[in-house]
Amino acid sequence: MRKILAALALTTAGFSSSAQADQSVVLVELYTSQGCSSCPAADKILAEIAGRADVLALGLHVDYWDYLGWQDTLAQPEFTERQARFNTIMKSRYRLVTPQMIFNGRDYVAGAKREKAIHYIDMLSKEPEQVDIKIERIGTSLRISLRPVSGSQRADIHVVRFIPKTTVAIKKGENAGRNVNYVNTVTEWSTIGEWDGKHPETIEQKVDGNADYAVIVQSKNLGPVLAARRLD
């Protein structure tokens, strides 16, 4: 699922960021499952915070509860692997648990705990981003422009495709009989290249012209997220 592609262009031309200078965007990854009875409450929290200008909220469905009688129709094993790696790096007492929210690759909340989630978002949104980032659609390509600021470091560039809204009728398992609404459900997560964190760079990536995308600049080895943006 992860696709490592070469960066296409390097530029030192003038730069104009689409983000406000005083606003940081916090990446919130919710690891969820249609087969988990405690997940719908967290799915609702994700839908709430997804409306905030300072949040990029993404839902990643995992597959390790499929044995309970319902195969998650949105799950991908790559998301299970990403969650497990995060919990190892963060030295969490969990390896795999749903629901779980991870904030900028640095902090986490296990369970549907709205107040704790809001606390992390409010705290992290006050911290300056380490990358000035601009993303725009140019025909069938996504153009990603990066410029280092204080604290920038070598990072991976991720392009994430997602479905803004979808409803699933769950017929078996712990949530049997429920229609659950999901927001910003990730369908593809691709690593398209590396950035040295020192020089301005512009990368173009072929995308589906009708799909929704976000870009995440994350320090190497699943380190802290340096910047995240949704394509408007």
Indicate the pLDDT class of residue 209, thresholds 50, 70 and 90: confident
Token duo for residue 219: 């320090």
pLDDT tens digits along 145-175:
999 997 789 999 999 999 999 999 999 999 9
Identity of the residue numbered 165:
K
Burial of 167 (C-beta count, 10 Å sphere; 0-12/13-18/19+):
exposed
What are the Cα distances from residue 91, in Å, to 85, 94, 117, 148?
10, 8, 19, 29
pLDDT tens digits along 88-107:
998 888 889 999 999 999 99
pLDDT above 60 for 15: no
Which has the closest alpha carbon to 121: 21, 24, 38?
A: 24
Residues 81, 88: Cα–Cα separation, whole Å: 11
The DSSP code sequence of 161-174 is: EEEEEEEEEE-SGG
Stated pTM of the model: 0.89
